Amino acid sequence: MIVIALGANLPSPAGPPRATLEAALARLGEVEVAVVRRSSWYRTAPVPASDQPWFVNGVAVVETARGPEALLALLLATERAFGRRRGARWAARTLDLDLIDHHGAVRAGPEPPILPHPRLGERAFVLAPLAEVAPGWRHPLSGLSAAALLARLPDPEPITRLE
């Protein structure tokens, strides 16, 4: 299973954050990354807490023949196409596409992508939609489901399903 997390809290050339996420998924479909399942969209607080706009987040399970490096390069190019400019860490953004899992691969780096995503188990904005869209998924290192990881969070950030 290949899992991608999506998020945005600024408008892009495609429109407001939710429209941007929909357009990004459509764009991936045009370059041989088939969306198999997509979670609902969620309204989430910025992490770490700040005064920037809240995010719209979701998760997609995709299929592609691309390996992890090629897929990550495509995700970064897609971010740029939607106006993403990398600057300060955790800054507001038009589009954020993270490779969460690539068929259970475990890669520590130093070259990206690090798999599974290193902060996956700390983020309700990834775990809640992942539990929705792929309840059978298991973390490649811990073996825990997304729901179990979500339940272990000591103080998860606020998250509300939009649809």
Residues classed as catalytic: 84, 93, 96, 98
Amino acid identity of residue 140, one-letter, is P
Question: By the 8 A CB rule, do 62 and 34 touch?
Answer: yes
- Pairing mode of beta strands 55-63, 34-38: antiparallel
**Whole-angstrom distance between the N-terminal and C-terminal Cα of the chain?**
24
Rounded Cα distance between 106 and 124, Å, is: 21
